């Protein structure tokens, strides 16, 4: 019931029970074809095995129950596959799963699922980057308060806030391209990673199997070296952290007391069961829920990587649900925030009003920097800090307090002081930074 809330339909399909079984069967069919191609098993046996590798022909519920005693789903799956092959060709069942081990089929099946999943993740990252680029361009000059430690700091623009996430997503795209080369590799080592049961033909079968599955060949079988899968997990943890940061910022800007940005509104979205006025940031909630859950799941993957000798006990099974859950949550977070950014609503007047709420103190640094060349930075800093305290105490605009300070008026006349308090004049390299992010997006 909750799956549609936290992930996408496309990713649910990639990690459905049927897809998991089909990818394992894809390995078995490819293994048979590879072994037939080098003369290890008869070609007609390979053909029969391939025809029997259809997930829809298997009772997944019975396989799941049998896995409880077997220790993994591969053992009962291969047993059922062997039964089907025997009915189709009495001379072929002995060649099912020839020379492989359960971990070969489970891990390679997972890699095939990850290949599909990472393609979807790349599309999701690209979609979010595209809508961020569009909104950053639209709002490159939209003034908004920059905030540090949850307090107003300096004027920035909404475009810059969005461009920082865009730049992070571009780094993730580069990471993903490199990750694919390491993670999308075959697992094929036999019982203890030596392919001993295949004699001198192990490497030839490995090469043919990799070609059949369109996977790269690793340097060695990686039964108990889980760094590639941990890299997938940590990469997705980084993606979710980036998306979660965006969600957190937009949710804070949507608070009633702030009211600067809002998620797109439509009937049935963000309501309350009792308060008819509510407009809750549901997209941000989905992304933030992922950001809460994924770090612990990544930690589980890292903990499970410490495996014993040539085949681990208990730690390998810990990955089976953990990594798919990370991928599912990442997909849901990306999809949710792409929808939020795409339909983002803004209240520019409220942004400007909030800029003015501190009565000029958001530009205290600008005044300090205007005075520093003449008075020195330390003197200018203390002078403006003292004036800020007085402005707060007397509930006056900082500009007016400074206009009464002889050391200030000796450097800046009233018009110059007024110009310093124009937030548009204190944006530094904001526009250049946004342009750089947009240019690198291409």
Of the listed 127, 173, 175, 311, which one is catalytic?
311
CA 223, 224, 227, 233 dihedral sign is positive
Q: Could you state, in order of their start, the residue ranges of all structural domains in the chain? A: 1-100+201-211, 101-185+222-357+429-442, 361-420
CATH code, residues 1-100+201-211 = 1.10.275.10
Of the listed 272, 386, 425, 429, which one is catalytic?
272
Question: Catalytic residue at 441?
Answer: no
Tens digit of each residue's pLDDT, the chain (442 residues):
788 888 999 999 999 999 999 999 999 999 999 999 999 999 999 999 999 999 999 999 999 999 999 999 999 999 999 999 999 999 999 999 999 999 999 999 999 999 999 999 999 999 999 999 999 999 999 999 999 999 999 999 999 999 999 999 999 999 999 999 999 999 999 999 999 999 999 999 999 999 999 999 999 999 999 999 999 999 999 999 999 999 999 999 999 999 999 999 877 666 656 656 667 889 999 999 999 999 999 999 999 999 999 999 999 999 999 999 999 999 999 999 999 999 999 999 999 999 999 999 999 999 999 999 999 999 999 999 999 999 999 999 999 999 999 999 999 998 899 999 999 999 999 999 999 999 988 6
pLDDT at 268: 65
- The CATH class that applies to domain 101-185+222-357+429-442 reads mainly alpha
Fold match, 1-100+201-211 / 361-420 = no
- The CATH class that applies to domain 361-420 reads mainly alpha
pLDDT at 270: 62
Task: Quote the Cα angle for 135-141-145, to 5°.
Answer: 95
Contact predicate 167/202, CB 8 Å:
no
Q: How far apart, in Å, do the first and last CA atoms of the chain sit?
A: 40
Question: Catalytic residue at 311?
Answer: yes
Beta-carbon contacts of 170 under 8 Å, excluding residues fewer than 6 positions away, are 129, 437, 440, 441
């Amino acid at each position: 019931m909750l799956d549609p809330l936290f992930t996408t339909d496309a990713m649910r399909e990639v990690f459905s029970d049927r897809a998991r079984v089909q990818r394992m069967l894809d390995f078995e069919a490819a293994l048979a074809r590879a072994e037939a191609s080098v003369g290890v098993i008869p070609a007609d046996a390979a053909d029969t095995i391939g025809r029997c590798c259809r997930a829809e022909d298997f009772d997944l519920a019975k396989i799941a129950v049998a896995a409880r005693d077997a220790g993994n789903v591969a053992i009962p799956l291969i047993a059922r596959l062997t039964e089907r092959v025997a009915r189709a060709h009495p001379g072929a069942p002995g060649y099912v799963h020839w020379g492989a081990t359960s971990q070969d089929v489970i891990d390679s099946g997972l890699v095939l699922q990850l290949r599909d999943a990472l393609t979807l993740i790349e599309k999701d990252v690209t979609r979010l980057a595209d809508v961020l680029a569009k909104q950053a361009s639209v709002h490159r000059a939209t003034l908004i308060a920059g905030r540090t430690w949850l307090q107003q700091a300096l004027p920035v623009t909404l475009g810059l806030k969005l461009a920082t996430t865009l730049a992070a997503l571009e780094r993730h795209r580069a990471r993903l391209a490199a990750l694919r080369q390491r993670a999308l590799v075959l697992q094929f080592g036999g019982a203890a990673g030596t392919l001993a049961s295949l004699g001198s033909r192990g490497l030839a079968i490995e090469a043919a199997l990799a070609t059949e599955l369109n996977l790269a060949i690793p340097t060695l079988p990686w039964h108990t070296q889980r760094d590639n899968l941990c890299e997938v997990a940590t990469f997705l943890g980084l993606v979710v952290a980036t998306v979660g940061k965006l969600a957190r910022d937009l949710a804070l800007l949507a608070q009633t007391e702030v009211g600067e940005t809002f998620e797109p509104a439509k009937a049935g979205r963000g309501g309350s069961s009792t308060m008819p006025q509510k407009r809750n940031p549901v997209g941000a909630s989905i992304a933030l829920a992922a950001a809460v859950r994924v770090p612990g799941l990544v930690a589980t993957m890292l903990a499970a990587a410490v495996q014993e000798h040539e085949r681990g006990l208990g730690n390998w099974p810990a990955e089976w649900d953990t990594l798919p859950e990370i991928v599912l949550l990442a997909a849901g977070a990306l999809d949710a925030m792409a929808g939020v950014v795409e339909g983002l609503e803004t209240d520019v007047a409220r942004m400007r009003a909030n800029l003015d709420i501190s009565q000029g103190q958001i530009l205290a640094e600008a005044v300090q920097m205007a005075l520093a060349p003449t008075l020195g930075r330390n003197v200018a800093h203390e002078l403006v800090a003292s004036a800020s305290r007085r402005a707060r105490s007397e509930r006056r605009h900082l500009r007016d307090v400074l206009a009464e300070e002889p050391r200030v008026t000796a450097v800046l006349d009233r018009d110059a002081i007024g110009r310093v308090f124009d937030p548009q004049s204190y944006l530094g390299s904001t526009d250049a930074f946004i342009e750089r992010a947009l240019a690198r997006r291409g």
